[in-house]
Structure 1
Amino acid sequence: MHARDDSTDAAEQIAALLDGIVRRQRRASREGFGDTVTHGQFRVLRTLDNAAQPIRLSDLAARLGIVPRSATSVVDDLEAAGLVARQPDPHDRRATLVDLTPHGRQLLTTLREKRRDVMVTQLARLTAAEQHTLADLLRRLAED
């Protein structure tokens, strides 16, 4: 049996720690909303918000990296909840555009605020210098 090297152990520890932090943040940011939106639905709301205009369902699926059928299912649920609305594409009668409703925008804003507040609470354990270092390190890891 081969001894594991330190970099492998460190990679596993870091992955586990990051997973735990993300899970804790998601759980805390959903408090008070019950099962209002799943993580997948939150991604759809965020993607629509970042688009800055209604987008085709097929474009939404591509941006999320999922098959159009899955996007349709998520949009169906969000539409039933009054968070998104479909409209015909004025340039292509066969296509449908999807956009956030005012209620969807408000919910997304509230979820983002809760997520930020949870992170502020977690980061309060670190000094300002440690927070800066952590942000720099995570930025480097996030680079493509």
Structure 2
Amino acid sequence: MVELERALARVAYLLTRVRRHDRAMLECGLTLDRASVPLLRLLADADEPMRLGELATRLDVEAPHVTRQIQRLEKSGYVERVADPDDRRAQLARPTDSGRRAMEAVRQVMRGWMRDALADWSSADLKALAVLNHRMVDDFLDHAEIIGDFGATARERPTRTA
């Protein structure tokens, strides 16, 4: 378990480095801040607009943080707010076409980096890595009450393939 924890800490560190984010933004030609990327990713992956409170819960951050980020993304033209049809007092957020294109550009850069870094891995090893990572995240989510809520829900879980 110690080596697994160390490996996960290294991955988390690599994925959240400021320089990596800045380089990705430069390659994409975007000016998204680091906090906006997970929010925009979540919105782009959603089937329908989401309440700001739900976004905060899923990202495991405070609601005012999401409100500020949504305002920034709105000013940049990546997100728009719409009235909640079930509660006109509430607002929902959804990505604009520009926001979806921006998120896809970020994903393409990240996938390119992964492709380059893992170029020597076999297809079987890459598939096994993906399957095991999904399994690990699913198990973490199943034990969220013990290790803390990761902000994800069952709806976000990809279907496992063996």
Report the TM-score, using the length of structure 1 for normalisation: 0.77
Q: Do the aligned partners of 1:49 and 1:105 also contact (CA within 8 Å) in 2? A: yes
* Structure 2 residue 100 is the aligned partner of structure 1 residue 105: yes
Q: Do the aligned partners of 1:54 and 1:98 also contact (CA within 8 Å) in 2? A: yes
Find the partner of 1:19 among 12, 15, 36: 12
- Cα deviation, 1:107-129, whole Å, max 9, x if unaligned, reads 01111111111100010133444
- Number of residues of Structure 1 aligned to a counterpart in Structure 2: 137
- Cα deviation, 1:36-74, whole Å, max 9, x if unaligned, reads 112321111111122211122222222222221111011
1:101: how far off? 0.8
* Structure 2 residue 114 is the aligned partner of structure 1 residue 115: no
* Deviating more after overlay: 49-58 vs 108-117: 49-58
Could you list the runs of 5+ residues in structure 2 that have no partner in the other structure? 140-162
1:130: how far off? 3.9
Q: Give, in whole Å, the separation in 1 of the partners of 2:80 and 2:119.
A: 39
In the alignment, what sits opposite 2:86?
A: 91
Q: Give, in whole Å, the separation in 2 of the partners of 1:55 and 1:133.
A: 33
Report the TM-score, using the length of structure 2 for normalisation: 0.70
* Deviating more after overlay: 105-114 vs 27-36: 27-36
In the alignment, what sits opposite 2:137?
A: 142
* Dislocated runs of 4+, deviation >4 Å: 23-26
Could you list the runs of 5+ residues in structure 1 that have no partner in the other structure? 1-6
Q: Do the aligned partners of 2:28 and 2:105 also contact (CA within 8 Å) in 1? A: no
Q: Do the aligned partners of 1:78 and 1:84 also contact (CA within 8 Å) in 2? A: yes
Q: Give, in whole Å, the separation in 1 of the partners of 2:14 and 2:88.
A: 45
Q: Do the aligned partners of 2:28 and 2:109 also contact (CA within 8 Å) in 1? A: no
In the alignment, what sits opposite 1:48?
A: 43
**Bigger Rg over Cα:** 1
Q: Give, in whole Å, the separation in 1 of the partners of 2:59 and 2:132.
A: 26
Q: Do the aligned partners of 2:56 and 2:66 also contact (CA within 8 Å) in 1? A: yes
When the two chains are superposed, the root-mean-square deviation of aligned CA atoms in Å is 2.6
State the percentage of identical aligned residues.
32
